[in-house]
A and B are shown apart, each in its own frame.
Chain A
Amino acid sequence: MKCCSKPKLCSHKLSFYPQVFLEPIKEWSYFVGDRVEILSGPDKGKQGIVSEVIEERNWVLVEGLNTKLKVLGRTKQFYGSVVSVEQPLLINREVALVDPADMLSTKVEWRYTEDGEKVRVSHRTGRIIPVPNQARTTHDYKSKTTYKESPKDTTDSEISKITFSPTLSTFEMDIMKSEGIEETRIPNKTYWY
């Protein structure tokens, strides 16, 4: 973005990147699986579920809303197949989170609970908007509780076992002691420069 603010002077001429204007945002508060309301465009006022988040452009895709029809695979013989493609929406300006208390759009704020947990809070009603479980999925599991242990995994009880006891020795000295290797020779002096 910044490196190519002047497209004409861009050193790598093969790739042309237009200048992108990103509104700086303090803290990200839109996640996959959130219910949002659309504030502008043909689908204004409709509510939907966030299907994709593109943080680099402050964009959000809403499932089945704000779509454009697109013709794919059109040839002289075949008229092509028409699909509807979701168009990105700018967060906070074209889209807003929905408060679960009254199902209306609100601004949100990050606050701490008494237990020290960080939560999203609706600006209008003060109700907590929980982050959906869908946002917590990783490549390895859908949710932490449903993860199935593989035979090569170390078990939780094995990991939490404390076997370290501090001794006045380096790692190498300790291993040599436990392996029964004795070394009485003293290394000669060397110089570091």
Chain B
Amino acid sequence: MNKLSRVLGVVRNQLATYVPRINATTQAAVAPTADPKVPAPAKDKHEGLMEFFDVKENWTTNEVRVGRSWRKEELRIKSNQDLHKLWYVLLKERNMLLTMQHEMNEKWEPFQSPERIDKVHESMVNLEEVVRERNRAYYLLETGETGERPGRVETNKVGMHYFFKASEHVVPPEHNNHWFKKFGCNRREVAKFRLYYNEKIWLGRLKEKNRNTRHVMKLYKRFPDLDEEALQAEYPDVNLERVKRWNGAQGHFMPRNL
């Protein structure tokens, strides 16, 4: 038993030297070196770890006022190096906010201005989108393709359409025995299901249209002089001229000479 486990351990170690662990090849191999905001390595104590906390003035306040998030058009005029530095500033800010929120939650106290987390998140999403835009432009110019993960609309086994996202493989599909097609169906086998499914969708749409028509009728009853252009824009399926003549749309008024 002992021998077996030792052998297995050896084998695992050998494998590890061949196949690199994906995450092991560094997150942040390229943290910005020239960023002036990053302090020098803390020798004596925890200066680096104190970056996980807000500045001391904000510990006791009930509110921390900050500006808005970065917009895409502002990020587009910045160089790649600037964006790279900004990403790490945002990353540190988000870690700080999450740490403070966790601490405040543990102590049953309100976290000041939680909308800061959303602002930082929005900035990070925008930054990533700008970087993708630039890369897409490069690949389109050089290779004629976007360079994004390819995908297409496919039919699944029951005959319904879905967006298939392709993934990367070392072996071409004709030689890959482990991979099998998830999409494609026999039309004759799924015909009955498709028929019922389409009927259900069609009936749903019909019911919605009838419901809207009845709603418009009641609207006419309550507001006889409403704006028809706006009404038609909200309910494009409904034939207003037809609905207006219905009895239910006429309103309920007392005769004047009573």
Contacts and interface: CB of A to CB of B under 8 A. Distances in A.
13 contacts: A21-B222, A24-B226, A24-B227, A25-B230, A147-B67, A163-B82, A171-B83, A174-B81, A178-B81, A179-B33, A192-B149, A192-B150, A192-B168
Nearest to B119: A140
Interface stretch (B72-80, B186-194, B242-250): B72-80
Interface residues of B, number: 52
Contacts of A192: 149-150, 166-169
A148 B81 CA distance: 29
Interface stretch (B43-51, B104-112, B130-138, B195-203): B130-138
B215 interface: yes
Contacts of B8: none
Interface in B147-182: 149-150, 166-173, 179
Interface in A116-162: 139-140, 147-150, 152-154, 159-162
B219 A165 contact: no
Contact of A149 (B67, B222, B230): B67
Nearest to B115: A139
B30 A170 contact: no
A179 to B, nearest CB: 6
Contacts of A179: 30, 33
Given A139-B115, A171-B80, A193 B138 contact: no
B141 interface: yes
B170 to A, nearest CB: 6
A34 B131 CA distance: 44
Contacts of B179: 193
Contacts of A190: 168-170
Contacts, number: 109
B172 A153 contact: no
B66 A21 contact: no
Interface in A81-113: 93
A2 interface: yes
Contacts of A72: none
A54 to B, nearest CB: 18
A164 interface: yes
Closest 4 CB pairs between A and B?
A24-B230, A163-B79, A174-B80, A153-B67
B153 to A, nearest CB: 15
B234 interface: yes
Contacts of B219: 21, 23-24
Contacts of B67: 140, 147, 149-150, 153-154
A190 B212 CA distance: 53
B226 A164 contact: no
Given A24-B231, A93-B223, A148-B65, 10 more contacts: A21-B218, A165-B79, A168-B141, A175-B80, A176-B30, A188-B170, A191-B170, A191-B173, A192-B149, A192-B150
Interface in B52-72: 64-68
Contacts of A154: 67
Contacts of A153: 66-67
Contacts of A148: 65
Contact of A2 (B84, B149, B211): B211
Contacts of A13: none
A26 interface: yes
B209 to A, nearest CB: 12
A192 B165 CA distance: 9
B126 to A, nearest CB: 13
Contacts of B30: 175-176, 179, 181
A25 B169 contact: no
A26 B230 contact: yes
Contacts of B168: 190-192
Contact of B74 (A5, A139, A159, A191): A159
B138 A169 contact: yes
A72 to B, nearest CB: 27
